[in-house]
Protein backbone atom coordinates (compact mmCIF):
# COMPACT_ATOMS: atom_id res chain seq x y z
CA UNK A 1 0.00 0.00 0.00
CA UNK A 2 1.37 3.44 -0.85
CA UNK A 3 2.33 5.58 2.12
CA UNK A 4 1.96 9.07 0.67
CA UNK A 5 0.31 11.04 -2.11
CA UNK A 6 2.13 13.94 -3.72
CA UNK A 7 -0.23 16.79 -4.63
CA UNK A 8 1.36 20.04 -5.73
CA UNK A 9 2.20 22.04 -2.58
CA UNK A 10 1.20 19.11 -0.34
CA UNK A 11 2.33 15.59 0.37
CA UNK A 12 -0.26 13.58 2.28
CA UNK A 13 0.90 10.96 4.72
CA UNK A 14 -1.53 8.12 4.13
CA UNK A 15 -1.07 6.41 7.45
CA UNK A 16 -4.23 8.32 8.35
CA UNK A 17 -7.22 8.89 6.10
CA UNK A 18 -7.46 12.23 4.30
CA UNK A 19 -10.73 14.15 4.04
CA UNK A 20 -11.72 15.72 0.73
CA UNK A 21 -14.69 18.10 1.02
CA UNK A 22 -16.96 18.60 -1.99
CA UNK A 23 -17.66 22.08 -3.40
CA UNK A 24 -20.16 21.89 -6.24
CA UNK A 25 -20.38 25.27 -7.98
CA UNK A 26 -23.31 24.02 -10.03
CA UNK A 27 -27.04 24.55 -10.33
CA UNK A 28 -27.75 20.84 -10.83
CA UNK A 29 -25.53 18.56 -8.73
CA UNK A 30 -27.48 15.59 -7.43
CA UNK A 31 -27.34 16.40 -3.73
CA UNK A 32 -26.56 20.09 -3.33
CA UNK A 33 -27.24 21.57 -6.77
CA UNK A 34 -27.83 25.32 -6.58
CA UNK A 35 -26.84 25.62 -2.90
CA UNK A 36 -23.33 26.89 -3.60
CA UNK A 37 -23.71 28.04 -7.20
CA UNK A 38 -22.43 31.60 -6.66
CA UNK A 39 -18.76 32.30 -5.94
CA UNK A 40 -19.57 33.79 -2.53
CA UNK A 41 -21.72 30.86 -1.47
CA UNK A 42 -19.13 28.34 -2.67
CA UNK A 43 -16.27 30.12 -0.88
CA UNK A 44 -18.16 30.40 2.38
CA UNK A 45 -19.12 26.71 2.18
CA UNK A 46 -15.45 25.94 1.50
CA UNK A 47 -14.41 27.84 4.64
CA UNK A 48 -16.95 25.89 6.68
CA UNK A 49 -15.57 22.58 5.38
CA UNK A 50 -12.01 23.71 6.18
CA UNK A 51 -13.08 24.56 9.75
CA UNK A 52 -14.66 21.11 10.03
CA UNK A 53 -11.41 19.42 9.03
CA UNK A 54 -11.27 19.07 5.23
CA UNK A 55 -7.65 18.73 4.05
CA UNK A 56 -8.57 18.86 0.37
CA UNK A 57 -11.38 20.77 -1.34
CA UNK A 58 -12.68 19.31 -4.59
CA UNK A 59 -14.18 22.12 -6.68
CA UNK A 60 -16.48 21.15 -9.54
CA UNK A 61 -18.32 23.24 -12.13
CA UNK A 62 -20.10 20.46 -14.01
CA UNK A 63 -22.47 17.89 -12.56
CA UNK A 64 -21.68 14.30 -13.48
CA UNK A 65 -24.93 12.87 -12.15
CA UNK A 66 -26.56 10.28 -14.42
CA UNK A 67 -28.22 12.05 -17.34
CA UNK A 68 -26.40 15.35 -16.78
CA UNK A 69 -25.87 17.52 -19.84
CA UNK A 70 -22.29 18.66 -20.56
CA UNK A 71 -21.40 22.27 -19.69
CA UNK A 72 -19.42 24.43 -22.16
CA UNK A 73 -15.78 25.13 -21.22
CA UNK A 74 -16.41 28.86 -20.78
CA UNK A 75 -19.23 28.32 -18.28
CA UNK A 76 -17.25 25.74 -16.32
CA UNK A 77 -14.29 28.14 -16.11
CA UNK A 78 -16.60 30.96 -14.96
CA UNK A 79 -17.85 28.76 -12.15
CA UNK A 80 -14.60 27.19 -10.97
CA UNK A 81 -11.87 29.77 -11.43
CA UNK A 82 -13.12 32.55 -9.10
CA UNK A 83 -13.59 29.99 -6.32
CA UNK A 84 -10.12 28.59 -6.87
CA UNK A 85 -8.59 32.09 -6.84
CA UNK A 86 -10.44 33.04 -3.64
CA UNK A 87 -9.17 29.96 -1.81
CA UNK A 88 -5.59 30.18 -3.01
CA UNK A 89 -4.24 31.23 0.39
CA UNK A 90 -6.25 28.78 2.47
CA UNK A 91 -4.19 26.02 4.09
CA UNK A 92 -5.84 23.24 2.16
CA UNK A 93 -5.05 21.37 -1.04
CA UNK A 94 -7.20 22.55 -3.95
CA UNK A 95 -8.54 19.93 -6.32
CA UNK A 96 -10.52 20.64 -9.47
CA UNK A 97 -13.07 18.08 -10.60
CA UNK A 98 -13.10 18.29 -14.38
CA UNK A 99 -12.70 16.17 -17.49
CA UNK A 100 -11.88 19.08 -19.80
CA UNK A 101 -8.24 19.72 -20.76
CA UNK A 102 -8.88 23.49 -21.04
CA UNK A 103 -10.17 23.62 -17.46
CA UNK A 104 -7.28 21.45 -16.23
CA UNK A 105 -4.76 23.80 -17.81
CA UNK A 106 -6.36 26.94 -16.37
CA UNK A 107 -6.69 25.34 -12.92
CA UNK A 108 -3.04 24.28 -12.86
CA UNK A 109 -1.95 27.73 -14.07
CA UNK A 110 -3.89 29.09 -11.08
CA UNK A 111 -1.95 26.65 -8.87
CA UNK A 112 -4.50 23.94 -8.23
CA UNK A 113 -2.84 21.03 -6.43
CA UNK A 114 -4.93 18.16 -7.78
CA UNK A 115 -6.89 17.34 -10.92
CA UNK A 116 -9.75 14.90 -10.36
CA UNK A 117 -10.98 13.49 -13.68
CA UNK A 118 -14.05 11.25 -13.54
CA UNK A 119 -13.16 9.94 -17.00
CA UNK A 120 -9.74 8.77 -15.81
CA UNK A 121 -7.81 11.08 -18.17
CA UNK A 122 -9.23 9.44 -21.28
CA UNK A 123 -8.21 12.34 -23.48
CA UNK A 124 -4.63 12.47 -24.70
CA UNK A 125 -4.68 16.27 -24.27
CA UNK A 126 -5.50 15.82 -20.58
CA UNK A 127 -2.70 13.32 -20.08
CA UNK A 128 -0.24 15.67 -21.76
CA UNK A 129 -1.24 18.55 -19.48
CA UNK A 130 -0.64 16.40 -16.40
CA UNK A 131 2.67 15.15 -17.78
CA UNK A 132 3.83 18.71 -18.39
CA UNK A 133 3.16 19.69 -14.79
CA UNK A 134 5.92 18.83 -12.33
CA UNK A 135 3.95 17.88 -9.25
CA UNK A 136 0.15 18.05 -9.28
CA UNK A 137 -1.70 15.08 -7.84
CA UNK A 138 -4.24 13.27 -9.99
CA UNK A 139 -7.28 11.22 -9.21
CA UNK A 140 -7.90 8.63 -11.92
CA UNK A 141 -11.53 7.57 -11.61
CA UNK A 142 -13.22 4.65 -13.32
CA UNK A 143 -16.37 5.22 -15.32
CA UNK A 144 -18.05 2.86 -17.77
CA UNK A 145 -19.57 4.95 -20.58
CA UNK A 146 -20.36 8.63 -20.05
CA UNK A 147 -22.63 10.48 -17.61
CA UNK A 148 -25.53 10.93 -20.01
CA UNK A 149 -25.92 7.21 -20.63
CA UNK A 150 -23.76 5.40 -18.07
CA UNK A 151 -26.61 4.02 -15.97
CA UNK A 152 -28.64 2.63 -18.89
CA UNK A 153 -27.18 -0.90 -18.79
CA UNK A 154 -23.82 -1.22 -17.03
CA UNK A 155 -22.25 -4.61 -17.59
CA UNK A 156 -19.15 -6.38 -16.26
CA UNK A 157 -18.18 -10.07 -16.26
CA UNK A 158 -16.23 -9.50 -13.06
CA UNK A 159 -16.55 -5.93 -11.84
CA UNK A 160 -13.58 -5.95 -9.44
CA UNK A 161 -11.05 -7.32 -11.89
CA UNK A 162 -12.30 -5.24 -14.82
CA UNK A 163 -12.30 -1.98 -12.85
CA UNK A 164 -8.84 -2.83 -11.44
CA UNK A 165 -7.48 -3.62 -14.90
CA UNK A 166 -8.87 -0.46 -16.47
CA UNK A 167 -7.65 1.76 -13.63
CA UNK A 168 -4.18 0.26 -13.88
CA UNK A 169 -4.12 0.86 -17.60
CA UNK A 170 -5.17 4.52 -17.12
CA UNK A 171 -2.48 5.00 -14.46
CA UNK A 172 0.15 3.45 -16.72
CA UNK A 173 -0.87 5.70 -19.60
CA UNK A 174 0.12 8.64 -17.38
CA UNK A 175 3.28 6.98 -16.07
CA UNK A 176 4.43 6.25 -19.63
CA UNK A 177 4.43 10.02 -20.16
CA UNK A 178 6.60 10.52 -17.08
CA UNK A 179 4.02 11.13 -14.35
CA UNK A 180 5.40 9.70 -11.09
CA UNK A 181 3.32 6.93 -9.49
CA UNK A 182 3.47 8.90 -6.22
CA UNK A 183 1.19 11.53 -7.81
CA UNK A 184 -1.56 9.09 -8.81
CA UNK A 185 -4.61 8.04 -6.79
CA UNK A 186 -7.19 5.56 -8.09
CA UNK A 187 -10.96 5.67 -7.57
CA UNK A 188 -13.43 2.89 -8.51
CA UNK A 189 -16.08 5.50 -9.36
CA UNK A 190 -19.09 4.44 -7.32
CA UNK A 191 -22.28 5.01 -9.32
CA UNK A 192 -20.47 5.73 -12.58
CA UNK A 193 -21.70 3.03 -14.96
CA UNK A 194 -22.41 0.60 -12.10
CA UNK A 195 -25.48 -1.11 -10.69
CA UNK A 196 -25.96 -1.27 -6.92
CA UNK A 197 -24.62 -4.84 -7.02
CA UNK A 198 -21.50 -3.58 -8.79
CA UNK A 199 -21.13 -0.75 -6.24
CA UNK A 200 -21.38 -3.02 -3.21
CA UNK A 201 -19.15 -5.67 -4.77
CA UNK A 202 -16.49 -3.01 -5.28
CA UNK A 203 -16.91 -1.76 -1.73
CA UNK A 204 -16.62 -5.28 -0.32
CA UNK A 205 -13.47 -5.90 -2.32
CA UNK A 206 -11.86 -2.51 -1.72
CA UNK A 207 -8.72 -4.29 -0.52
CA UNK A 208 -8.21 -5.70 -4.04
CA UNK A 209 -8.03 -2.14 -5.40
CA UNK A 210 -5.73 -1.10 -2.58
CA UNK A 211 -3.45 -4.03 -3.47
CA UNK A 212 -2.75 -2.37 -6.85
CA UNK A 213 -0.32 -0.19 -4.87
CA UNK A 214 -1.76 3.29 -5.44
CA UNK A 215 -3.62 5.46 -2.92
CA UNK A 216 -7.33 4.76 -3.24
CA UNK A 217 -9.93 7.54 -3.14
CA UNK A 218 -13.62 6.79 -2.60
CA UNK A 219 -16.71 8.88 -3.26
CA UNK A 220 -19.82 7.31 -1.80
CA UNK A 221 -21.26 10.40 -0.12
CA UNK A 222 -25.07 10.64 -0.29
CA UNK A 223 -25.13 8.50 -3.44
CA UNK A 224 -28.01 6.30 -4.60
CA UNK A 225 -26.13 3.21 -3.34
CA UNK A 226 -26.71 4.59 0.18
CA UNK A 227 -30.36 5.36 -0.55
CA UNK A 228 -30.84 1.88 -2.04
CA UNK A 229 -30.13 0.10 1.25
CA UNK A 230 -31.35 2.69 3.77
CA UNK A 231 -34.43 3.90 1.93
CA UNK A 232 -33.40 7.46 2.83
CA UNK A 233 -33.76 10.58 0.70
CA UNK A 234 -30.59 12.42 -0.38
CA UNK A 235 -30.57 14.82 2.59
CA UNK A 236 -30.88 11.95 5.07
CA UNK A 237 -27.99 9.80 3.95
CA UNK A 238 -25.27 11.08 6.28
CA UNK A 239 -25.12 8.04 8.59
CA UNK A 240 -25.18 5.58 5.68
CA UNK A 241 -22.51 7.56 3.83
CA UNK A 242 -20.26 7.68 6.89
CA UNK A 243 -20.65 3.92 7.37
CA UNK A 244 -19.63 3.24 3.76
CA UNK A 245 -16.65 5.60 3.98
CA UNK A 246 -15.49 3.94 7.20
CA UNK A 247 -15.75 0.48 5.69
CA UNK A 248 -13.69 1.60 2.69
CA UNK A 249 -11.05 3.11 4.98
CA UNK A 250 -10.94 -0.05 7.06
CA UNK A 251 -10.16 -1.98 3.87
CA UNK A 252 -7.33 0.42 2.98
CA UNK A 253 -8.85 3.35 1.06
CA UNK A 254 -7.20 6.54 2.28
CA UNK A 255 -8.87 9.54 0.68
CA UNK A 256 -12.59 10.04 1.26
CA UNK A 257 -14.58 12.51 -0.85
CA UNK A 258 -17.54 13.71 1.20
CA UNK A 259 -20.23 16.36 1.54
CA UNK A 260 -20.49 15.90 5.33
CA UNK A 261 -16.99 16.61 6.59
CA UNK A 262 -17.73 16.98 10.30
CA UNK A 263 -19.64 13.71 10.64
CA UNK A 264 -17.05 11.78 8.64
CA UNK A 265 -14.21 13.30 10.63
CA UNK A 266 -15.76 12.17 13.92
CA UNK A 267 -16.20 8.63 12.62
CA UNK A 268 -12.61 8.54 11.38
CA UNK A 269 -11.35 9.81 14.75
CA UNK A 270 -12.95 6.78 16.41
CA UNK A 271 -11.52 4.49 13.71
CA UNK A 272 -8.04 5.97 14.24
CA UNK A 273 -8.19 5.55 18.02
CA UNK A 274 -9.24 1.94 17.64
CA UNK A 275 -6.70 1.24 14.89
CA UNK A 276 -3.59 2.92 16.29
CA UNK A 277 -4.23 2.35 19.99
CA UNK A 278 -4.56 4.52 23.07
CA UNK A 279 -1.03 5.98 22.93
CA UNK A 280 -2.17 8.13 19.98
CA UNK A 281 -5.18 9.52 21.84
CA UNK A 282 -4.52 13.03 23.20
Which residues contact ligand HH2 by CB under 6 A?
22, 24, 26, 29-31, 60, 63-65, 97, 116, 118, 139, 141, 187, 189-190, 217, 219, 257
Quote the CA–CA distance of 104 and 164 in Å, as a whole number: 25
Quote the CA–CA distance of 205 and 209 in Å, as a whole number: 7
User: Which is closer to ligand HH2, CB of 68 or CB of 275?
Assistant: 68
The least CB distance from residue 256 to ligand HH2, in Å, is 10
Catalytic residue among 183, 223, 254, 265: 223
Quote the CA–CA distance of 168 and 13 in Å, as a whole number: 22
Q: Are strands 4-7 and 10-13 parallel, antiparallel or unpaired?
A: antiparallel
Chain centroid, CA 204 distance in Å: 19
The closest alpha carbon to 221, from 199, 205, 237, 201, belongs to 237
The least CB distance from residue 139 to ligand HH2, in Å, is 5
Q: Do 281 and 273 contact (CB within 8 A), yes or no?
A: yes
The least CB distance from residue 188 to ligand HH2, in Å, is 8
User: Which is closer to ligand HH2, CB of 116 or CB of 170?
Assistant: 116
Catalytic residue among 79, 100, 257, 265: 257
Residue nearest to ligand HH2 (CB): 219
User: Which is closer to ligand HH2, CB of 101 or CB of 191?
Assistant: 191
CA quadruple 174, 179, 183, 187: dihedral, nearest 10: 0
- Answer yes or no: 257 catalytic: yes
Quote the CA–CA distance of 65 and 237 in Å, as a whole number: 17
Helix (H, G, I), strand (E, B) or coil at 4: strand
User: Which is closer to ligand HH2, CB of 110 or CB of 234?
Assistant: 234
The least CB distance from residue 259 to ligand HH2, in Å, is 6
- Answer yes or no: 223 catalytic: yes
Active site residues: 223, 257
Amino acid sequence: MSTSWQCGRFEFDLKRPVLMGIINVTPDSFSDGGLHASTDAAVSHARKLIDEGAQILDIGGESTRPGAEPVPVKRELERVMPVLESLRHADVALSVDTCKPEVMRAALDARADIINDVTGFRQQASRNIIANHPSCGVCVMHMQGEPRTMQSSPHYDDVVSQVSRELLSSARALQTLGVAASRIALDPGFGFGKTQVHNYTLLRHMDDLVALGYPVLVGVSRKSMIGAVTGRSIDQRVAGSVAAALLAVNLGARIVRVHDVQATKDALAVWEAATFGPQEIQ
